[in-house]
Amino acid sequence: MISDRTAAYGGSPFVQISNFGNGRYVKQKTHGNDLLGEKMKELEYPFDPQYILKKRRALKRALIEQSGGSGLKKKIAVLGGSTTDDIVSMAELFLLNHGIEAEFWQSEYNKFWEDGVFGNDELEAFKPDIVYVCTSSVNLKFGSDPALTEQQADERIDAEEQKYITLWEKLTRFGCPIIQNNFDAPFYALMGNMDSWDKRGLCYAAHELNSRFAKHARDGRILLLDLERTAAEYGLDRWHDRSYYYMYKYMCAREAVPSVAYKLSLIVKSIFGKNRKLLALDLDNTLWGGIVGDDGVEGLEIGQETGVAQAYYEFQQYARQLKSIGTVLTVCSKNEHENAIAGLNHPEGVLRPDDFALIKANWEPKDKNLLETVGQLDLTPAAIVFADDNPAEREIVRQTIPEASVPELSAPEDYIRTISRGGHFEPISITADDLARAEMYRRNAKRAELAASVGDYGEYLKSLEMQAEIAPFKPMYIGRITQLTNKSNQFNLTTRRFTQAEMEERMESDKYITQYGKLTDKFGDNGIVSVIVGRICPDAKELFVSLWLMSCRVLKRDMELAMLDGLVAQAKAKGLTKIVGEYIPSPKNKMVERFYPDVLGFRLVIADDDGLAKYELDISSYENKNKYIKM
């Protein structure tokens, strides 16, 4: 083999690896397409790590052919404390499967701190959308040391924490999210169990650093990748594969690498709004044991009486918990409607009919029901996770709705793990809006019913009894404002993304006018649904609107008119006479291409061949446009 390059392993291997760490991409051959058209079930949990490690090239080729280059393009800088090439190539696959075409840049081997703190020309030019600091217990350069005083033990932990704080502070120059690993439990414990509680122990230090990292995550400084849990899930003895560490400087076993990459991909897809939103549940033998139509409600296995009953009980409990992280639940079951309702009212059950935004219990094909469900809830097929114990139903849905995720549910005792480890609903923050989301979708379904029953649209809007709160950004809402800004794609005129810190800066600056809109109607509170940021140009006495977006769940409610009314009022108060808006086309915002001229009555200033256009509105004699929403 083994050419000079590789023969060097075992001597000073990391020097070798570092040569390849720098912005290096694997060359691709393009021939054959045996995997084309096949769904990438291979890349969903539970995946086979050996298979995807071995077949990475063919998988990548197939994924790129499938997407046809339509994926979201994002740049990820990986600052590694160990060899990260495999983590990158695996994350690349998982992200492609989430519709994200990531380009990676890697620091040289173990230069994460130097590159991050002192800068690196390549890294600066790369302009990452995300920085991932991939460190682990192998980067803790001290060990358990009983000779330390308590103060010295504290100090070395403080120093280690400070090292990372400095790194994160320096990394803010990129204005992008920072994903940071916490520490896996160290390879061995010198003092045994005592190592975990005595301050001189390395295990104690790793734990303590993890709690401090968690605090920084709560403060919004970083997003944590829970490497500690990832290693535990994999099994710590297998995780610490020392020969791969000594030879190749791997922080964990080669076979554990896909697990780390998978966790990374979950955070990244969550950041870019690629989470799924809906869990569509079958009933018989999915939410309870038995068939309600045949066995009757009293014959169902659910509750605390038997082991099987308990498994279904806990699964119902889990589904209900998912609501609390913003997942919308629906039923998709072949059943008589009244039997379904009766089953869901089982006295020993957890879920109740009201927990579901929609209940589809009928004899129509499930794919048809699922598509109707997302249609009625204003979601897309890509929002669906479909949970069904029946392999035939799963297969039909996989084939007819390829965008949906269909986890392989085998036995009720494994349902929770299978869905949970899939990470379909992985939150990076949970706002009050998320908590209310499930309820909101239920109300949406009710609104749709009302709309169908009222003939005239104006009458319908009036009957909604809408009330809006429209005001400059407030600190209490800034989290939700940032979240909405970074995940809105369709009703988004410019698709500019901002970090929370950048939003706060605009909120506090008198160079900007900011505005959020919150909409309530007789069915409940929709929360914050619209965001505008405009820069004041004092010389021209105009407001340049760099961001205007709205949640699609309040489309056609005249909220955009109410927002314009509010914006004009703010602009006038600052003595401005003109509002300038722009439309920047993206693959997803065609919906608002004609928003400024057709909906708001702006005048075209200039447009180029790529569809980018600039509009303006003279506001000196502006009259309020909104008729249906009370302020």
Per CB under 8 A, which region of 27-35, 298-306, 391-399, 615-623 contacts another protein?
Answer: 27-35
Burial string for 196-230 (b: 16+ CB within 10 Å, else e) reads: eebbbbbbbbbbbbbebbeebbeebbbbbbbbbeb
Give the nearer residue to another protein in terms of CB position, either 59 or 382: 59
Sign of CA dihedral 39, 40, 42, 43: negative
Per CB under 8 A, which region of 16-24, 178-186, 203-211, 216-224 contacts another protein?
Answer: 16-24
The C-alpha atoms of residue 66 and residue 89 are separated, in whole angstroms, by: 18
172 scored as a contact of another protein (CB under 8 A): no
Per CB under 8 A, which region of 14-22, 226-234, 602-610, 622-630 contacts another protein?
Answer: 14-22
604 scored as a contact of another protein (CB under 8 A): no
Out of 31, 121, 363, 621, the only residue in the binding site for another protein (CB under 8 A) is 31
CB of 70 to another protein, least distance (A): 22
Scanning residues 552 to 591, which ones bind another protein (CB under 8 A)?
none
12 scored as a contact of another protein (CB under 8 A): no
523 scored as a contact of another protein (CB under 8 A): no
Per CB under 8 A, which region of 7-15, 385-393, 419-427, 562-570 contacts another protein?
Answer: 7-15
Give the nearer residue to another protein in terms of CB position, either 92 or 560: 92
CB of 50 to another protein, least distance (A): 4
246 scored as a contact of another protein (CB under 8 A): yes
H-type alpha helices, 71-149: 85-97, 112-118, 121-126
10 scored as a contact of another protein (CB under 8 A): yes
Sign of CA dihedral 117, 118, 121, 125: positive
The C-alpha atoms of residue 338 and residue 351 are separated, in whole angstroms, by: 16
The C-alpha atoms of residue 74 and residue 340 are separated, in whole angstroms, by: 44
**CB count, 10 Å around CB of 462?**
13
33 scored as a contact of another protein (CB under 8 A): no
36 scored as a contact of another protein (CB under 8 A): no
Scanning residues 72 to 101, which ones bind another protein (CB under 8 A)?
83, 85-86
Q: Which amino acid is at 561?
A: L
16 scored as a contact of another protein (CB under 8 A): yes
42 scored as a contact of another protein (CB under 8 A): no
Q: What strand order describes the sheet that includes 358-362? A: 358-362, 328-334, 278-281, 384-387
For 443, residues 6+ apart whose C-beta sits below 8 A from its C-beta are: 523, 524
32 scored as a contact of another protein (CB under 8 A): yes
237 scored as a contact of another protein (CB under 8 A): no
CB of 6 to another protein, least distance (A): 5
Instruction: Find out whether 175 and 499 touch, Cβ atoms under 8 Å.
Output: yes
Q: How many residues of this chain bind another protein (CB under 8 A)?
A: 38
CB of 571 to another protein, least distance (A): 56
Scanning residues 250 to 289, which ones bind another protein (CB under 8 A)?
254-255
Give the nearer residue to another protein in terms of CB position, either 247 or 591: 247
The pair of structure tokens assigned to 92 is 């690349």
Burial string for 334-364 (b: 16+ CB within 10 Å, else e) reads: bbeeebbbbbbebebbbbeeebbbbbbbbee
Q: Is the peptide bond before 46 cis (omega within 30 degrees of 0)?
A: yes
26 scored as a contact of another protein (CB under 8 A): yes
238 scored as a contact of another protein (CB under 8 A): no
**CB count, 10 Å around CB of 319?**
23
Give the nearer residue to another protein in terms of CB position, either 84 or 181: 84
For 27, residues 6+ apart whose C-beta sits below 8 A from its C-beta are: none
Distance of CA 53 to the CA centre of its chain: 24
Per CB under 8 A, which region of 56-64, 144-152, 319-327, 538-546 contacts another protein?
Answer: 56-64
For 399, residues 6+ apart whose C-beta sits below 8 A from its C-beta are: none
Per CB under 8 A, which region of 29-37, 259-267, 522-530, 602-610 contacts another protein?
Answer: 29-37
For 13, residues 6+ apart whose C-beta sits below 8 A from its C-beta are: 247, 248, 249
2 scored as a contact of another protein (CB under 8 A): yes
H-type alpha helices, 273-365: 292-295, 307-324, 337-344
Out of 43, 47, 61, 130, the only residue in the binding site for another protein (CB under 8 A) is 61
- Helix and strand numbers (H, E) in the chain are 24, 16
Scanning residues 116 to 135, which ones bind another protein (CB under 8 A)?
none
Out of 232, 247, 501, 606, the only residue in the binding site for another protein (CB under 8 A) is 247
Output the CA angle 526-531-533, nearest 5 degrees: 165
9 scored as a contact of another protein (CB under 8 A): yes
Tokens 């392989």, located at residue: 408
248 scored as a contact of another protein (CB under 8 A): yes
Contact flags string 291-330 toward another protein, x per CB under 8 A: ----------------------------------------
Out of 22, 23, 42, 55, the only residue in the binding site for another protein (CB under 8 A) is 55
The footprint of another protein (CB under 8 A) covers: 1-3, 5-11, 16-17, 19-20, 24, 26-29, 31-32, 50, 53-58, 61, 83, 85-86, 243, 246-248, 254-255
